[in-house]
Chain A
Amino acid sequence: MLVTCLLAAASACGVTRGAESRDLDMWIPNSPGGGYDQTGRAAVGVLDRDNMTGGDIQVTNILGAGGSVAMSRLMSEEGNGNLLMTIGLGVVGSTYSFGVDARPQDATPIAQLIEEQEGVLVPADSPFKTIDDLVKAWAEDPESIVVGGGSSPGGPDHLFPMQLAEAAGIDPKEVKYVPYDGGGPLTSALLGHKIEVGFSGLAEFEGQVEAGELRVLAVSGDERGTGVFADAPTLTESGIDLVFLNWRGVLAPPGISAERRQELIDLLTRMHDSKQWQQALKDNGWTDAFVTGDDFDDLLVEQDQRVASTLKELDLL
């Protein structure tokens, strides 16, 4: 047993490698089973399966402060070309709410992998039949509507209702938002009528919607969803000028060489083009949104500003 402990300790220390090493580390800024974990592990699964890197890939979950602990540690790994980290909208938000001064665009952006729609969910017997019903009642008396989401302030499920409220002319500061610990507790709060509306990524709710226990009033993307979500209109269709997409991608530490950056981009491009990745997208209900290099850089800057302005609106900055 002792030997195993020592091995575990040694492998956990991140053994220093030579520059020519083909091994990779993939950091997941959140707990096993969460969205970042699923995306990161799915990507590593495809890379590993066809041995695209020619070395080993080790996945490590680095928990803490909604991902900003992992983010600030990535910044301190300057020049480490054998490290990748999964990032997304929630991590960007958490760096603000946790007061960590690490902007994702200051690391080395490699690629955005996926986008995920958010949905506006109500229980099946809710009086709100359409998004218009909801927005009307909400605008009349913001106090009367309690909304919930699966993330803490700064996360996508918090930013989405705030931006929706703003688009509908409701002061975001008047929104009564209850954070739940992920999709499970959020669903049970909806089913038990503790809250009126839930805001969350839709993939977790496919079963409930199919069974007719929850209804999707609207989806947040610029196109409708597929499968059981195909009936729900987009916000823009319903006359609300808002497109909100959660996204996830991959960063490398700052200060790696241009060649290494290109190698990593090529690696992820090969992963993206594989049949297995396309299958993983389908299985998880993710939208393919592959953006690399400088374009991803621009995207990060824009997202970063948008998060900052929403949080500023709420006096959370």
Chain B
Amino acid sequence: MENFELLMGGLESALTPMNLLYAAIGVLLGTFVGVLPGIGPAMAIALLLPVTYRLEPTSAFIMFAGLYYGGMYGGSTTSILLNTPGESASVMTALEGNRMARAGRGAQALATAAVGSFVAGTIGTILVAFFSPALADVAVELGAPSYFALMVLALVMTTTVLGTSALRGFAALFLGLAIGLVGLDLNTGQPRLTFGVTQLVDRLDIVVVAVGIFALGEALWVAAHLRRRPAHVVPVGRPWMGRDDWGRSWKPWLRGTAFGFPFGALPAGGAEIPTFLSYLTERKLSKRGDFGRGAIEGVAGPEAANNASAAGMFVPMLALGLPVTATAAVMLSALQGYGITPGPQLMTDHADLVWTLLASLLIGNTLLLVLNLPLAPLWARLLRIPRPQLYAGILFFACLGAYATNLDPFDIGLLVAFGLLGLMMRRFGLPVLPLILGVILGPLMETKLREALTISGGDYTALLSEPLAVVIYILIALFILGRPFIARLRARAEQSAEVEDEKELVD
């Protein structure tokens, strides 16, 4: 257990009072940055760089680690309370989290997000510490065909959340895929569906779409009914998670971690697909049927997946010196500032620094929990603000977020357009979830498909050229073919259960 000793050594050098102070500053700043829409952890670290050059590398990295995890966690707060996800990774959290908040269970939603982030972050960091080099070697073997297969799996799973009307569900899904087409075709450099507007040449920012459809659409919908419906007052909930909440949360935390970590470790994994798969899995597994009305599993799973993927990012960064996210790129450029060359030798040549960094990730994660858990009930009281003021606040926040990303008023117009689309969809009973999933999945799928086909020269059999891809397609086939069969089995099981219930009643 050489690695274990090294990690303990790292903890020892990281656990000085000064470093703890830096970790606390990092966590606080990170949470704050995560709460503010439009500023991500990458930007925050870039802003901090000049300050930290005067610090020891160890202290600087402890601060960055706190900032990174803090930012990942902070994004969930606004998603849950205001329905305004600050980054694409917390879009899934908003779905059930905001429902919970409006049912008076905001404190529980925030708490399960905090504990789930802690659990996933800790497990993820420990996995990074022990398995990085081995995982990284496997990860680079996966190419576009495997990624594409994963996205097809996600798309097929999307069909389970189409809602009551399959037609409306598919309409929303294809609308989402169409929105995902807007922008420059990255392989040929041709603009698509941009109508000559420069700002549309980039792919649409998923945050603007999600906030427009969720938050703005909802606010407009509420405003349209303000006089006709009695005011719905958010009930005062309990401040802490109950026994039932813990019981419902721990499995999604672990499953979410299992989804998130491998994706984070992949060079093109990201946090969107795992949060998304975690949400769909929890929804499928849930027996209570309260998904869509505030199921705690729908917050616990995606939040854990989000943070586990955040931890997974360190696998390629530390084992290969590869920055796979903007945050990793900024952290690696910080290393260069200390005269350290990032690369495969990082773990051997600068072992002390790497282990201190891993230890500081654990510390940052713990501090995050300690600071945020007591705050959850306080945050949740924010929703007690009367409705007009609350929604005005949400609108302000949503516009600020859209504007802050690019400092371009055009994005506010875009936000309003998507808000109107969201309102229309609510009016005509189109489900919004398939649309969001289409917007997220479409471009990712396209990029990977095009990459695979460019490499193979247009040969479609190349899509089956990697073992993982084949395994996934078999799973998909089983899933589709097995569905009627499972449905029949379930119906039979329910029937026999009913019979037994009746028997019990008779007894």
B329 within 8 A of A: yes
Contact A153 B188 (CB under 8 A): yes
Contact A192 B329 (CB under 8 A): no
Scan B317-342; emit 1 where CB is below 8 A from any A CB, else 0: 00011111011111001001101011
Name the residue on B nearest A31 (C-beta).
B326
Minimum Cβ distance to chain B for residue A296 (Å): 26
A60 within 8 A of B: yes
Scan A37-76; emit 1 where CB is below 8 A from any B CB, else 0: 1100100010010000000000011111100110011000
Known contacts A69-B408, A184-B267; is A100 also within 8 Å of B198 by CB?
yes
Interface residues of A in 173-202 (CB under 8 A from B): 176-179, 181-185, 187-189, 191-192, 194-195
Contact B341 A184 (CB under 8 A): no
Known contacts A63-B405, A97-B184, A207-B345; is A34 also within 8 Å of B202 by CB?
no
Contact B140 A32 (CB under 8 A): no
B414 within 8 A of A: no
Known contacts A32-B43, A184-B323; is A176 also within 8 Å of B455 by CB?
yes
Known contacts A208-B343, A213-B344; is A97 also within 8 Å of B329 by CB?
no
Contact B267 A188 (CB under 8 A): yes
Out of A5, A32, A194, name the residue touching B326 (CB < 8 Å). Answer: A32
Known contacts A32-B46, A210-B341; is A188 also within 8 Å of B316 by CB?
yes
Residues in B with CB closer than 8 Å to A9 are 400, 403-404
A298 within 8 A of B: no
Known contacts A178-B454, A283-B339; is A32 also within 8 Å of B42 by CB?
yes
Known contacts A32-B326, A185-B267; is A98 also within 8 Å of B343 by CB?
no
**Interface residue SS majority, chain B:** helix
A284 within 8 A of B: yes
Scan B31-44; emit 1 where CB is below 8 A from any A CB, else 0: 01001100000110
Contact A69 B406 (CB under 8 A): yes
Contact A194 B324 (CB under 8 A): no
Contact B188 A316 (CB under 8 A): yes
Contact B329 A34 (CB under 8 A): yes
A154 within 8 A of B: yes
Known contacts A65-B198, A188-B139, A191-B320; is A97 also within 8 Å of B189 by CB?
yes
Residues in B with CB closer than 8 Å to A8 are 36, 400, 404
Contact A207 B198 (CB under 8 A): no
Name the residue on A nearest B326 (C-beta).
A33
Of A14, A34, A60, A191, most B-chain CB atoms within 10 Å:
A191
Contact B198 A33 (CB under 8 A): no
Complex Cα distance, B321 from A211, in Å, reads 11
Of A1, A33, A146, most B-chain CB atoms within 10 Å:
A33
B199 within 8 A of A: yes
B49 within 8 A of A: yes
Residues in B with CB closer than 8 Å to A169 are none
Residues in A with CB closer than 8 Å to B329 are 32-34, 182, 184
Name the residue on B nearest A14 (C-beta).
B407
Complex Cα distance, B139 from A146, in Å, reads 20
Contact A187 B322 (CB under 8 A): yes
Residues in B with CB closer than 8 Å to A64 are 198-199, 201-202, 406, 408
Known contacts A69-B199, A152-B189, A178-B454; is A37 also within 8 Å of B46 by CB?
yes
Name the residue on A nearest B393 (C-beta).
A2
A143 within 8 A of B: yes
Contact B400 A65 (CB under 8 A): no
Residues in A with CB closer than 8 Å to B397 are 5
Of B189, B333, B397, most A-chain CB atoms within 10 Å:
B189
Complex Cα distance, B455 from A61, in Å, reads 33
Q: A195-B455, A283-B337 are in contact. List 13 more A-B contacts (CB 8 A).
A: A60-B407, A62-B407, A64-B198, A99-B198, A153-B189, A181-B268, A183-B323, A187-B322, A188-B140, A194-B455, A206-B341, A207-B344, A316-B188
Question: Taking beta carbons and an 8 Å cutoff, which residues of B are in contact with A?
Answer: 32, 35-36, 42-43, 45-46, 49-50, 139-144, 184, 186-189, 191, 198-199, 201-202, 267-268, 316, 320-324, 326-330, 333, 336-337, 339, 341-346, 396-397, 400, 403-408, 451, 454-455, 457
Question: Taking beta carbons and an 8 Å cutoff, which residues of A are in contact with B?
Answer: 1, 4-5, 8-9, 12, 14, 31-34, 37-38, 41, 45, 48, 60-65, 68-69, 72-73, 97-100, 143, 146, 152-154, 176-179, 181-185, 187-189, 191-192, 194-195, 206-208, 210-211, 213, 283-284, 316
